Amino acid sequence: MGKVRIASRSELDQPGCRVYQVDGHTLALFQTEAGLFAVDNRCPHMGFPLDRGSVKDGILTCHWHHARFDLATGGAFDLFADDVPAYPVFVEGEEVFVDLSPTRDPERYSRKRLRDGLEQNLRLVVAKAVINLVQPEIPATAVAPFTIGLTFGSQYRAGGWAMGQTINTCMLNLLPHLQTVDRPVALYQGLTAVARDTEGMAPRFAIEPLPGPTVDFLTLKRWFRQFVEVRDGEGAERCLATAIQAGADAGHIGEMLFAAATDHRYLTIGHVADFTNKALEALDQVGWEHASTVLPSLLPSYVNATRMEERNEWRHPIDLAVILQIAFEKIPAALDAGRAKNGAVYPLARSAPTLLSDNPQAIVDLLLHMLADGVAPQDLAQHVSYAAGRRIVHFHTANEFGDWDTVLHTFTYANAIQQGLRRVGSPELLRGVFDAALSVYLDRFLNIPAAPLPEVGPTGDEPAALLTAFSQLLDERYQVNQAGRLVAQFLSNGGQAEALMATIGHALLREDPDFHTIQTVETAFSQYRLLQGQPEAEHMLIAAARYLAAHAPTPRAQNQTYQIALRLHRGEKVFEG
């Protein structure tokens, strides 16, 4: 599309603005002392008609939120608004023409606007960029915008990897479980979390690898752990950067990180291991060429970590740190004995009573016994993750509200260690399984009295109707037990877990979900997948539903912003009257 006639010269006898419909465009043609200017008549912020704006000194002001634009180029002076498309105007004889040729590459412009949104923490801008960049039916199209957020978050937060990056990665992990229409919403929620987390923060300056000949990996790993031990972030980062530059593979890098992440007990209520797992999962999706940008951002969490053996509850009245230290010394022998047994299979129902008991010595003894009996490390971790999930299933609503976080932290930590063991078969990481098991033990009073597992049998209710009832239920506050029961009823009536996860995901995304609720749902879905085919799998979905119900409804402001962006994208009117 090029030059198009818009008006006769004789029509433009007075200064001001006139609106023309030309080849599918609605143009505002301004006649000023400086000449004729044509712009799209829709304010690129939220669609207000720009012919109702004001022009002064070459600046067009929209009167809804007062965004200002250079009338000649359309460039916005306020970053919350996009540039308005501006079209060159020509007068030839008695006729006035505009050139409607596109002036920008839409994809490139959307990537730039995504960065603007991240830099300025503008969620409407992020939402618009995501809608333009992602094709919901092709989940792979989410990777490019996710990567922009991942690398941005790694570079622009001196405090390193935190909630925003974790939420962003959780959201990417959730995509396969979601309805098509919800996939961009998830990405938007993740990217806006990065924007919030980096707002006002100092950037992080990367430390270069060691110069000269490469130090061998085992030395770098040993040095790395020593530097983390004495909380020396610079030394630790240089070791990590050197290992990455030397081409250490994902397994070795994971081994190095997880060894340090389990050198002390349950670091920062599990966040260090969880952040590490999420960073590695993110790299799996975007490519390990981003490792040198992303992974060093983890180190502040390592060197500033709270070591739980320094906390009273881990030392008194029972010294759990001592119980664990003795157990750790027995792990090599247990592994040796287990190798000869060739992979024993333990049902979850057999380990759960002890793992949920009030006897920490019996718990670590069981874990050692299972290892010696041939249970593989990652399978052992599965038993502990399941027990941690059961704490959420049995969490009683009489507990203080903040204690939902306590059971969630153990659950995400157990899952992170399990995922780590699936990636790295290191005996060092096995210590995390024992730590997680004793954190499950410490959470025992949050199950007293225990909320019962919903006991339901098949009824005549249609599964689809139960899903609708579930969504409606979460419009009311704190429907925890009812939500768990509806999930159990849905599954008992033959409902498909995939449909249930999509419904839970949708219910999550319509809220202003907090960090912990996102973590719980993502972890529960991940655990469901690992347990799929076993009767205990559905307990993970009950856990997700209960936790979400405890934290809903919220004002739902974030989703409202996304819906505005979607309406604007469709060309609908947001401003009426």
Which residues form the interface with ligand FES (CB under 6 A)? 43, 45-48, 62, 64-65, 67, 81
Identify which of residues 53 and 513 has a Cβ nearer to ligand FES in the complex: 53
H helix runs in 262-359, sequence order: 271-286, 291-294, 299-303, 312-315, 320-341, 348-355
CB of 47 or CB of 235, closer to ligand FES = 47
Is 88 strand, coil or helix?
coil
Residue with tokens 């030059």: 3
* CB of 63 vs ligand FES, minimal distance in Å: 7
**Token pair listed for 22:** 């030309």
Q: What is the dihedral of CA 278, 198, 286, 139, to 10 degrees?
A: 90
In terms of CB distance, is 45 or 510 closer to ligand FES? 45
Rounded to an integer, what distance in angstroms lies between the CA atom of residue 131 and that of residue 445?
A: 45
Residue 7 pairs with which residues in a beta bridge? 96
Q: Closer to ligand FES at the Cβ: 48 or 217?
A: 48
Query: Smallest distance, Å, CB 78 to ligand FES?
Result: 8
Nearer to ligand FES, 49 or 209 (CB): 49
- In angstroms, what is the minimal distance from the CB of 172 to ligand FES? 31
Q: Is 24 exposed, middle or buried (0-12, 13-18, 19+ CB in 10 A)?
A: exposed
Q: What does the alpha-carbon distance between residue 372 and residue 388 come to, in Å, rounded to a whole number?
A: 22
By beta-carbon proximity to ligand FES, the closer residue of 44 and 374 is 44
Element (H, E) at 4: strand 3-8
User: Judged by CB, which is closer to ligand FES: 481, or 563?
Assistant: 563
Rounded least distance, CB 563 to ligand FES, Å: 16
DSSP-based three-state secondary structure for 243:
helix
Nearest approach in angstroms of CB 62 to ligand FES is 3
Nearer to ligand FES, 67 or 299 (CB): 67
- In 3D space, the residue among 210, 217, 166 whose CA is nearest the CA of residue 426 turns out to be 217
Q: Hey, is 202 helix, strand or coil?
A: coil
Q: How is residue 247 annotated by DSSP?
A: T
Both structure tokens of 526: 């991940």
Given a contact cutoff of 8 angstroms between Cβ atoms, the answer to whether 532 and 487 are in contact is: no
Task: State in angstroms the smallest separation of the CB of 48 from ligand FES.
Answer: 4
Minimum Å gap between C-beta 130 and ligand FES is: 19
d(C-alpha 67, C-alpha 118), whole Å: 19
The Cα–Cα gap between 227 and 468 comes to: 53
In the complex, what is the shortest distance from the CB of residue 505 to ligand FES, in angstroms, rounded to a whole number? Answer: 31
**Min separation Cβ 240 and ligand FES, Å:** 45
CB count, 10 Å around CB of 440? 28
Residue 448's alpha-carbon distances to 391, 399, 444, in angstroms, are 10, 9, 7
Nearest 5°: phi and psi at 60? -95, 125
90, 36 Cβ separation under 8 angstroms: no
d(CA 156, CA 195): 10
Task: Report the Cα–Cα distance between both ends of the chain, in Å, rounded.
Answer: 32
Which is nearer to ligand FES, 46 or 55 (by Cβ)? 46
Nearer to ligand FES, 62 or 565 (CB): 62
Nearer to ligand FES, 76 or 175 (CB): 76
Distance between CA 430 and CA 410 in Å, rounded?
15
Of 39 and 142, nearer to ligand FES (C-beta) is 39
Least distance to ligand FES, CB of residue 574, Å: 8
Strands 25-32 and 35-40: antiparallel
107 CB-near residues (< 8 Å, 6+ apart): 132, 133
Q: Where are the beta strands (DSSP E) in 158-302?
A: none
Least separation in angstroms between CB 109 and ligand FES: 18
Of the two residues 64 and 109, which places its CB atom closer to ligand FES in the complex? 64
Of the two residues 61 and 493, which places its CB atom closer to ligand FES in the complex? 61
CB of 76 to ligand FES, least distance (A): 9
Can you count the helices (H) and strands (E) in the chain?
24, 10
Identity of the amino acid at 564? I
Residue 57 Cβ, how far from ligand FES at the closest point, in Å?
A: 18
| Residues 293, 331 contacting (CB under 8 angstroms) | no
Task: Report the distance separating Cα 414 and Cα 423, nearest Å.
Answer: 14
- Of residues 415, 427, 366, 367, the one with CA closest to residue 388: 415
